[in-house]
Amino acid sequence: MRYIIVLLFLIFSANANAQWGTTAIKIGYFSPAASNGGLIVGYEGGKEIDRNFTIGWSIDWFNKNYVDKKLVSDFNSVYGIGGASVNELRAKTNLHDFPFMVNLTAHFPAAPRVRVNIMGGIGAEVLLIYYRDFQNPDDSNFKGAFDFNWRIGVGTSYDLGPRSEIFGELNYHSSAPSWEYEVQDQRTGVNRVFERVFDMSGIIARIGVRFYY
């Protein structure tokens, strides 16, 4: 947490000497370990201290409906594979992932109007999870999970004009929010605890457009 506070302080203290403000919209493909891959969209704002260094913040959104195969395996091992189809229904999950990041980016000229970018960031991961009730799989429950995250990546950008550019980037994102899932075995009355770990680590590949003001 202290590293995030330091970076936020740097962002605000840099505003007075910043050359340009920046805003960017991104769209691409995210492949986390917890689920199948899919569309990710994001917004990024910041301050360009000079043409070689930018500091800022970002938020992304990733949504996926999937069956948690690890949870199915855990259910099958405890309750038997005779209810495998019911256990698959119980493990259906609708996940909304919101990574909030504080970012640093270094820019290196590579050709006229072309720059190579190296970026990194840290922040917090917020998961909003709709999962099936164990006793009544047709019903859904809601849970939130949180964790710290970090990200590193490389990319390239091409200047469309003095105040706009298009870019592509490839990032590795790391985070693993988790929470405990408690159910009661109706046959024995014993409560069993399953830990649900949502490993949101994976590769993000995307393109976007950035404006300077």
Over range 64-82, report the average pLDDT.
73
pLDDT confidence of residue 67: 81
Residues facing residue 63 across a β-bridge: 96
Which CATH code fits 2-174+200-212?
Answer: 2.40.160.20
What residue ranges do the domains of the chain occupy? 2-174+200-212
d(CA 148, CA 127): 11
Residue 23 has phi, psi (to 5 degrees) of: -145, 140
pLDDT confidence of residue 121: 96
**Reported pTM:** 0.81
Report the 10 Å Cβ neighbour count for 188: 8
pLDDT in tens, 91-149: 788 999 999 999 999 999 999 999 999 999 999 999 998 887 776 777 778 889 999 99
Residue 9: pLDDT band (50, 70, 90) is low
Burial 88-125 (b: 16+ CB within 10 A, else e): bebbbbebebebebbbbbebeeeeeeebebebebbbbb
Q: Which residue has the tokens 């959104």?
A: 61
Q: What CA dihedral angle connects 53, 9, 201 and 208, to 10 degrees?
A: -40
Q: Which residue, among 34, 42, 2, 51, has the nearest Cα to 171 in the 3D structure?
A: 42
Handedness of CA 96, 97, 100, 104 (dihedral sign): negative
